[in-house]
Structure 1
Amino acid sequence: MLLQIEKNTVYIKQRTKELGFDYCGISKAEELTEDAFRLEAWLNKGMHGNMQYMENYFDKRIDPRKLVEGAQSVITLLLNYFPSQVQQPNAPKVAKYAYGKDYHEVIKARLNTLLEDIRKVTGNISGRGFVDSAPVLERSWAKRSGLGWIGKNGNIIHKQAGSFFFIATLIVDIPLLYDGPVADFCGSCTRCLDACPTGAIVSPSVVDGSKCISYFTIELKEQLIPNEMQGKFKDWMFGCDVCQDVCPWNRFAKPHSDVDFTPIPEILNFSTKEWEALTEDEFKNIFRKSPMKRSKYAGIRRNLKFIQT
């Protein structure tokens, strides 16, 4: 039995590499008791803003066995999105994760492939893959499985590679060999807290989502951005990378070579005037496979106007 568990674990970690994932960690599927207390406190303080969906499925967020019946293992994967290219100077800024194709679609397809491949080796197991749009505490599982520690900016930080990663989760009902957590290496550094333009990092590892630039420019739908945020966005039109850009550990970030995340040329090359002149039809065509479609044309126009006022 133990030999088969080891064989399955080795296969999974090798196959994830072949599918383009950079790192794989595995944890035992169990209730995240401490995380439940932290999540409850965070919600009670209203730090999720208008993201009401964060209140849903609380029991499933803290226990993967309620997402997959009989779940025994949580496989967590990191996929690098750090780009080799940057936007032209003085243009409205777009978070690096959104330079290429929508990661939800790209990673979901790879998770489906991974699950089918595992079944070819282990038999007809049950499992589900998740990418950022389901009630899964991805960073907690990444921490438990030794893929990094949760930095003071709330991101998973890998000691050899920084934090510019997508996190994916695959929950399965078979036992595997489990990895352990690593130490926290943030130390006394407070660069992310000091640099956050809106003061959204209210204490180490606690981010008030309702104050985050990414929340205002992506999650806040069809509403005006509060006046008290005027002048604080530092030209960020879609998302924000400030807390990652200043993190010393990201000096180890290396550009990815994933064709799916090749930057859309317009994101790199558009000037402010070209963004302003963009029509809705052009937006829908250029960004039809981009995460930027989440804000829709109206949201991008709103954000653009706000950072220029």
Structure 2
Amino acid sequence: MFNNSAKYSQMIKAEALRLGFMACGISKAEFLEEEAPRLENWLNNNHHGEMGYMENHFDKRLDPRLLVDDAKSIVSLTLNYFTEDKQLDINAPKISKYAFGTDYHSVIKEKLKELLAFINENIGEVAGRCFVDSAPVMDKAWAQKSGLGWRGKNSNLISKDAGSFFFLAELIIDLELAYDSPFAADHCGSCTRCIDACPTDAIVAPYTVDGSKCISYLTIELKNEIPTEFKGKMENWMFGCDICQDVCPWNRFATPHKEPAFEPALTLLQLKKDELIEMTDDVFKQVFKGSAVKRTKFTGLKRNIDFLREN
């Protein structure tokens, strides 16, 4: 016979898979002791660049019980976004795969709300919050603690079964559950493909990324001009970057997602280089409606495209 915590955990995992999540793991809500010195060192080295928000809520990042009163469990989830679709014009400035479809924040948030509603309807009244990349939650640390994978040398979470082209999300709830064992093994071995392939040398050491040098940061998070030191190093990326994942051997196990909301709009895939260079604000709003690309705003995307043209 299952005790209730084991039964509830099974119910939650089954519903997560039904909702389309790729995997679900559960860990105990507690202070992230091992992460504290790593985070402090990363911040002290200014690896967060202009992402000032990373300095905020230091304590909350390390202790989910400060985010959700009486938190007991972290339900970590992954959602596949891998696609074999590509932009048709090979010379057009490139967009990261994760931004081909509808903005993942809204897609995942809806699924998390449904999962929380399921818990309340089938288990009992549970207090909790949904998190998708929008609050001080160390999602990779929790995913690893809940057995979903290990952090590779490019700092992304990697699954032996699925590679790394997936989103991470969490439910932090005040319900005691059965906890999964942490993923303790590291399957990167002596491989350094991600480090060798990064054109801006953002992976400054195995497992350590200087965010201020990462192409994703430069094209999305950075609000000022892109520093001239990155001229000729952007590999034609105008929004995000997939290089360190594309070269990772574990991504040979990535399979195309089955999430309708992530299907790319043909108008996006068909954009030609000249059309992007000459894009107006109105066209930007039409093509990237509902897309994560909207984060850069028209002026940001234009800045990125102009920087690529200059180089």
Bucket of the pairwise TM-score, normalised by the shorter protein? over 0.9
Instruction: Answer yes or no: is the 8 Å Cα contact 2:19–2:111 preserved in 1.
Output: yes
- Residues 150 and 157 of structure 2 are in contact (CA less than 8 Å); yes or no, is this contact kept in structure 1? yes
Whether the 8 Å CA contact 1:8–1:121 is kept in 2: the answer is no
Equivalent residues of 1:8, 1:176 under 8 A apart: yes
Residue 217 of structure 1 aligns with an amino acid whose one-letter code is T
Deviation at 1:176, TM superposition (A): 0.8
Structure 2 equivalent of residue 120 of structure 1: 121
Per the alignment, in what secondary structure is the counterpart of residue 189 of structure 2?
coil
Pairwise mapping of residues 1-309 of structure 1 onto structure 2 (< 5 A)?
3-88=3-88, 89-182=90-183, 183-221=185-223, 223-309=224-310
State the distance in 2 between where 1:286 and 1:244 align.
26
How far has the Cα of 1:279 moved from its partner? 1.2
Identity of aligned residues (%): 57
Q: Deviations over 1:253-296 (max 9, x none)?
A: 00111101001223311111011222101211221200000001
Following the alignment from structure 1 to structure 2, what is the Cα–Cα distance between the partners of residues 152 and 105?
Answer: 29
CA–CA distance in structure 2, aligned partners of residues 140 and 267 of structure 1: 34
Residue aligned with 2:220, SS: helix
Distance in 2 separating the partners of 1:204 and 1:52: 24
In 1, distance between residues paired with 2:125 and 2:25? 22
Paired residue secondary structure (1:295): helix
Secondary structure in structure 2 of the residue aligned to 1:139: helix
CA–CA distance in 1 between the matches of 2:268 and 2:232? Answer: 22
Counterpart amino acid of residue 63 in structure 1: D
SS of corresponding position for 1:61 = helix
The amino acid across from 1:74 in the alignment is I
Tell me the SS of whatever aligns to 2:34.
helix
Deviations 1:151-178 (A, max 9, x none): 0001000001100000001001111111
CA contact (8 A) 2:268 2:287 kept: no
SS in 2 for 1:33: coil
Q: Provide the rounded CA distance (Å) in 1 between the counterparts of 2:216 and 2:146.
A: 27
Shift of 1:2: 5.9
TM-score norm. by structure 2 comes to: 0.97
CA distance in structure 2 between the partners assigned to 1:116 and 1:299 by the alignment = 37
The Cα offsets for residues 221-247 of structure 1, whole Å up to 9 and x where unpaired, read as 1x2110010000000010000000000
The runs of 4+ residues in structure 1 deviating greater than 6 Å are none
Q: How many residues align?
A: 308
Q: Is the 8 A contact 2:153 2:188 kept in 1?
A: yes
Q: Which digits, 9 at most, give the CA deviation of each residue in 1:38-73, with x for residues without a partner?
A: 001100110100000001111110001111111111
Give the partner amino acid of 1:244. Q
- Partner of 1:132: helix, strand, or coil? coil
- Over aligned residue pairs, what C-alpha RMSD do you find? 1.1
Contact kept in structure 2, 1:213 and 1:236, CA below 8 Å = yes
The letter of the residue matching 1:12 is I
Unaligned runs of 5+ in 2: none
- Mapped to 2, the partners of 1:286 and 1:94 lie a distance apart of 13
- Cα displacement (A) at 1:109: 1.0
Unaligned runs of 5+ residues in structure 1 are: none
State how far apart, in whole Å, the 1-side matches of 2:287 and 2:96 are: 17
> For residues 140 and 128 of structure 2, what CA distance do their matches in structure 1 show?
19
Taking the aligned partners of 1:247 and 1:5, their CA distance within structure 2 comes to 37
Please state how far the C-alpha of 1:300 moved relative to its aligned partner: 0.7
Cα offset, 1:6, TM superposition: 1.5
Contact 1:84 1:256 (C-alpha < 8 Å) held by counterparts: no
Normalised by the length of structure 1, the TM-score is 0.98
Partners of 1:4 and 1:180 in 2: how far apart? 18
